[in-house]
Amino acid sequence: MDLNTIIVLGLCVVILIILVVMYLKDKQADKKFERFEQVLTDNMQENFILKKEIEKIKETIDAMDLGKFGEVIDEEMEQRLMPLKKSIETIGEMISNLRK
């Protein structure tokens, strides 16, 4: 074998090693991109679900009659405060009786 043949074989081996290293790195990059793609897909699905839930909540709020809702709250507050109001009136009567 002459020197030129050895040099050509050496260069072929170096090129083969470079190709193998590039192939391995490409496989690693594919795995990383696959993970990122899965995360992106999961986030897109979650975003879609959240948008649907927000739309349902918005429809529910739009369907509510807020004026009527306010009246219901006022009635409920009045019912809950009625015993307190009666207690205050009773105490007021007791104080006025004590002053007499």
The two structure tokens encoding residue 51: 């948008």
Task: Sketch the domain layout of the chain as residue ranges.
Answer: 64-100
Q: What is the pLDDT of residue 22?
A: 96
Predicted confidence (pLDDT) per residue in 52-98, tens digit: 999 999 888 777 766 777 788 888 898 888 888 888 888 888 888 87
Predicted confidence (pLDDT) per residue in 27-63, tens digit: 999 999 999 999 999 999 999 999 999 999 988 877 7
Distances from the Cα of 32 to the Cα of 25, 38, 52, 78, angstroms: 11, 10, 30, 62
Report the distance separating Cα 31 and Cα 19, nearest Å.
19
Task: Share the mean pLDDT of the chain.
Answer: 89
| Site of tokens 């006025």 | 96
Eight-state DSSP code of residue 64: S
Q: What is the pLDDT of residue 63?
A: 76
pTM of the model: 0.46
